[in-house]
Chain A
Amino acid sequence: MRSFRWVPVTLFVLFVVVRAGRIGDLLSTGTFVEQTLVALTFTLLAAIIWLTITPWPEVLSKFFKPFDVRIASLVLGAIMILAVFAPIASGHHPNTQLDLVNGQLLPPSLAHPFGTDFVSRDLWSRVLFGARVSLMIGVLAVTMAITIGTMVGMAAGYFGGWVELVLMRLVDAGLSIPRVFWLLVIVSLWGTTDIYVLILIIGLTGWFSTSRLVRAEVLRIREEDFVVAARGLGISEAGIVIRQILPNVVPPIIVNATLGIGQVILVEAGLSFLGFGVQPPWPSWGTIIQDGSARIIAAPWIVTVPGVAIALTVVSLAILGDRLQTTLNPRDSAQF
């Protein structure tokens, strides 16, 4: 299936051609940021073409062999590119109220691929700019959660004793309260509207399960023969942690992170839906659903579209996460 490689590049060229008019507009009248974005489009186009014509390393072509992995990467890639190039892909600002008299709750059409909402904003632009917000929250919050979780898990697994006892009871407590509850309490009490505080809070409540996973891995690896051998050879404890244990916990952490981004996107959507997440008028997929929920009968597409976007993103991430698991786990490499 070598020909499959030409699918992304074709789609991307198609994107540039279809939006050529918009690209021209931005080049001549856009802000500096928008002009940079246009330049980036062509750089990326060149990169994608280069990637298509040069041979891939064995590892990469093996990774992308299964059909579902290809589709998932394609979907995720498309969503990410549309998010990054949102100003090019959409003709409107996501918060502009286009026509308050005749443009409210328009069903999907050529001018508005996803229709408009109750104050006549273009839903396609809102979903694209919403993708930026949702993906950014997902990536940053997971980075934070993974960092904390890894440190706590390594500390608990390695030091054992009362350190482990205290940390793990803390994790138990964290896991025994529904995450949405923690988030609601913290977000509402601090009355935050700032997106970075939101990321911080989601990150701070997301590390519990990672630390459990890392601890279990450390406990397992600590007893393995090669670690015992390293200790027997007189290698320092710090050296063992960095050279022997850390490399072995990285693969499960990467898998955990990939799946975690999807979970954070779901959590953010839920929180925004309850009115405690990203604050209007800025769109995230969750806030768009919340906006639309009041008009669900008159304009069902407002609720439907961002939900489909969320599901597509999270499914793709899950497929890639599963694939990473089989690829990165040396114990499973036989089937690879």
Chain B
Amino acid sequence: MGRLIGRKLFQALVVMLLVTTSTFFLIHIAPGDPFMPDLSVSGVSAERTDQIRRNFGLDRPIYVQYGAYLKNVASGNLGLSFRSYRPVSEIIIERLPNTIVLTSLALIMDFAIGILIGTWQAWKRGSAGDRFLTVATLTLHSTPVFWFGFMLILAFSVSLRILPGSGVVTIGIYDSLTPLGQLWDRIKHLILPVSTLALIGAGSTARFQRAAMLDTLSQDFIKSARARGLSECTVIFRHALRNSLLPTITLLGLSLPVLLSGSVLVETVFSWPGIGALTVDSVQSRDYMVVTAIGLVSAVMVLAGNLVADILYSVADPRARRKP
């Protein structure tokens, strides 16, 4: 187990280095830099622009910049934002909790719903309910996540007026609420964005889980369990469900990048001040330092998720424990 984690950590380090390097070079070989369009238009003199470039080290050769950047990142310094002159780490830390709350709640709901539906479908294979859910999950799987967000806003915020469709809290009245009221206000704002991400994801998860469960149910040890006179309940939940969850655990690691991609769109739709919305903002304003840092942070989140999935897998499957 220790060796497994060690190996995975080393692999993660390599991947993170690759990610940092590729985003860094992608950004730096791109034509133009952040001070080209904005400052010349706003009437700042060429000398002043050059001065700023020098301050940020942008006049140095690219490999020197790269070396300096890696050294800074290794010591936890992500640099300064070109736009707000604030430390990038400060900006990220300000936004990160919003995204983590959004995506982790969505992930839990995604897998809870997906596994439940998929298992039920495989158990009742061929029934009317199974066929209906097959169409429903396929449709969710094929729906643009941001469009689905708009549809939920239309239904619940515009027509029914029961849930807020944007922001984290109700601006203006939040400060005057009791602590319990504040919590309820936050929950209300979470429901639509979390549901958007989770339901779209649950479509894929349910399809996956159904296939995994059907595969497990066709295996010999299930026949053996039935031949031993175990109850249907024991066969399904103790024997089949447990084994069918193994591939789904792998899916958990794979679905994190998809979820983060979705959160970029969903945060924009719901004006959710998280990393996703920050990505769009800083890409628009060419805030290199923030963009590179977001790439790194996303990779860390994804790799951490993969590591958790690997550990879960080796806990659930005794056969995986022996192999490195």
The answer to whether A274 and B268 have CB atoms under 8 Å apart is yes
The 8 Å CB contact of A307, one of B147, B258, B260, B294, is: B147
- Chain B residue at minimum C-beta to C-beta distance from A172: B15
Say yes or no: is B116 at the interface (Cβ < 8 Å to chain A): no
CA distance A297 to B154 in the complex (A): 7
The answer to whether B142 and A315 have CB atoms under 8 Å apart is yes
- Chain A residue at minimum C-beta to C-beta distance from B140: A311
The answer to whether A189 and B286 have CB atoms under 8 Å apart is yes
Say yes or no: is A336 at the interface (Cβ < 8 Å to chain B): no
The answer to whether A300 and B261 have CB atoms under 8 Å apart is no
The answer to whether B27 and A269 have CB atoms under 8 Å apart is no
Say yes or no: is B158 at the interface (Cβ < 8 Å to chain A): yes
Q: A189-B286, A307-B151, A314-B142 are in contact. Are A184 and B280 (CB under 8 A)?
A: yes
Q: A184-B264, A191-B32 are in contact. Are A172 and B143 (CB under 8 A)?
A: no
Q: A179-B257, A189-B26, A304-B151 are in contact. Are A311 and B268 (CB under 8 A)?
A: no
Binary A-proximity of B228-249 (CB < 8 A = 1, otherwise 0): 0000000000000000000000
- Chain A residues with CB under 8 Å of B265's CB are 180, 270, 273-274
The A-B contact count (CB < 8 A) is 144
The answer to whether A273 and B146 have CB atoms under 8 Å apart is yes
Q: A169-B15, A188-B286, A191-B32 are in contact. Are A311 and B144 (CB under 8 A)?
A: yes
The answer to whether A310 and B143 have CB atoms under 8 Å apart is yes
CA distance A318 to B291 in the complex (A): 34
The 8 Å CB contact of A184, one of B254, B279, B306, is: B279
- Give the size category of B's interface with A: 35 or more
- Chain B residue at minimum C-beta to C-beta distance from A319: B138
Say yes or no: is A178 at the interface (Cβ < 8 Å to chain B): yes
- Chain A residues with CB under 8 Å of B169's CB are none
- Shortest CB–CB separation between residue A271 and chain B, in angstroms? 9
Say yes or no: is B65 at the interface (Cβ < 8 Å to chain A): no
Contact stretch, chosen from B42-50, B51-59, B297-305: B297-305
Main secondary structure of the interface of B (DSSP, over half): helix
- Give the size category of A's interface with B: 35 or more
- Chain A residue at minimum C-beta to C-beta distance from B144: A269
Q: A189-B26, A273-B265 are in contact. Are A176 and B303 (CB under 8 A)?
A: yes
- Chain B residue at minimum C-beta to C-beta distance from A271: B265
- Chain B residue at minimum C-beta to C-beta distance from A290: B146
The 8 Å CB contact of A172, one of B11, B151, B294, is: B11
Which residues of B, 162-205, contact A by the 8 Å Cβ criterion? none
The 8 Å CB contact of A176, one of B141, B151, B257, B280, is: B257
CA distance A190 to B30 in the complex (A): 6
CA distance A68 to B134 in the complex (A): 11
CA distance A189 to B22 in the complex (A): 14
- Chain B residues with CB under 8 Å of A262's CB are 142
- Shortest CB–CB separation between residue A164 and chain B, in angstroms? 14
Q: A181-B264, A184-B283, A307-B144 are in contact. Are A176 and B15 (CB under 8 A)?
A: yes
Since A177-B295, A177-B298, A307-B150 are in contact, a sample of 12 more A-B pairs with Cβ atoms closer than 8 Å, ordered by chain A residue number, is A176-B19, A176-B302, A176-B306, A178-B261, A180-B261, A181-B264, A189-B27, A269-B144, A270-B144, A270-B261, A289-B150, A315-B138
